[in-house]
Copies of this chain bind each other. A is one copy, B any other.
Amino acid sequence: MAERIETEVAVIGAGLAGLSAARELRRLGVDVVVVEARDRVGGRTLNEPIGDGEIIELGGQWVGPTQDHALQLIADLGLETFPTWNTGTNIFERGGRVRTYDGTIPKVNPVSLAEVGVALKRLNRMAEKIDVDRPWEQTELASWDGETFATWMRRNTRTGAARDMLRLAIEAVWAAEPEDVSLLHALFYIRSAGSLDLLLGTEGGAQDSRVVGGTQLICERMAAELGERVHLDRPVRRIRWEEMPGDVPAGLPELGPHSVTVEADELTVAARAAVVALPPALAGRLEYDPVLPAMRDGLTQRMVQGTVVKCHAIYPEPFWRADGLSGQATSADGPVSVTFDNSPPGGKPGVLLAFLEGNAAREATDLLPEERQQIVLDSLIRLFGPKAAAPERYVDKAWAADEYARGCYGGYLPTGSWLMYGEALRTPVGPIHWAGAETATRWAGYMDGAITSGIRAATEIANGKG
């Protein structure tokens, strides 16, 4: 027999969005219960211990300037940040050639560099037209909504090197290919972050800083505040709700004229409102009674999870630093597309972070772990030399294979979707409110967006919209 709990608001998902919603609701004096499918909190943030008290992060890890809510929350929880290692020369690989460069601009031919520069400027300028709060009202954007980033790229660049560099940028931000995302989705994201430079940058950009001890601590500390209100190992299967015009049950202040029942394995939560803090693709897999409006369901059919494998090769020392390298590499040859020096603040052990993104990740996710390790190390050897061949340890996480993520970094919209279905991202359905990084308007898809989305959903409920 399932345990049954009565509360005011049921929050589904104990990632950054869900826990931020619960924390904000508590701050507003509302009672909450958080129901989490996994045996841990953190969602798409995840620490993995590597000995000597050090950890690596298998999920989201960076924060940067203008991500004010994330930085504030980190400080509020007594956590600290440290700068991403950014000293030394960078590496760019293309066409079998590995070249080093200083600063942010790889050494490719001047024509391609100029093309990329013009393209980035154009994208930033186009992005300024987006109203991030309601792009679906901007019917003048239909043409951007109806084409892929790939076709825009074909029209706006001529050289292979320029196209490769733009492809790498798309892969780095969405863990998807230019063929997957609509031009409008790319522009929405750029606008939501502020600029492409902020999205792509290390120092001063979205990859500026890291959290001492790992980002999963953010969720763990929020969960600790919430205590027994957080229930792990309870996958939610069904959400039932109804109008409740009659008497409000005793002990439940009137949040709205609804009752909600959240049915999880071995746990049922009765509440007055719910926050679903899952990626839309997964939120669409729950059963709803009454069934979701077609618009909301259609959004969940369309919003696809990006695909990334986040890989770590751990060495006794960050040997590349002695070679004058920053550990940051970008490769158009793949399968590893981007690397970073992900060593702990003390610089020991040496950790190389390598991403498989988009198609490379799709092809690698269903491989055997040892096969995946080999293709990653092959890339690292090409980029950083033979010392990269024998890490003390190799750890990766293929997020598309994770039943409760089914992809990372987050959801993206293919063509034809933003204008028609975008509004359903946040529109509550009866007493059900939607949170998650995908629903954010500022730093959508990032930890900062996840946090603000939870606060926004909590505010909706506390303001009596649900």
Contact = CB atoms under 8 A, between A and B. Distances in A.
A292 B401 CA distance: 8
Interface string A342-369: 0000000000000000010010011000
Interface string A412-450: 001111001100000000000000000000000000000
Interface string A251-294: 00000000000000000000000000000010011000001011
Given A150-B146, A237-B237, A362 B401 contact: no
A307 interface: yes
A55 B112 CA distance: 64
**Pairs A-B, 5 closest by C-beta atoms:** A146-B179, A179-B416, A180-B416, A294-B400, A414-B414
Interface stretch (A41-49, A295-303, A331-339): A295-303
B284 A415 contact: no
Given A293-B366, A403-B291, A415-B179, A420 B298 contact: no
Given A301-B406, A414-B414, A294 B365 contact: yes
Interface of A: 142, 145-148, 150-151, 176-180, 237, 281, 284-285, 291, 293-295, 297-298, 301-302, 304-305, 307, 359, 362, 365-366, 398, 400-401, 403, 406-407, 414-417, 420-421
A295 to B, nearest CB: 6
A252 to B, nearest CB: 29
A294 B366 contact: yes
B180 A407 contact: no
Contacts of A414: 180, 302, 414-416
Contacts of A407: 298, 301
A306 to B, nearest CB: 10
A297 to B, nearest CB: 6
Contacts of A178: 146
A250 to B, nearest CB: 32
Contact of A416 (B176, B302, B406): B176
A359 B420 contact: yes
Chain B CB within 10 Å — which of A293, A366, A415 has the most? A415
A366 B429 CA distance: 12
A179 B304 contact: no
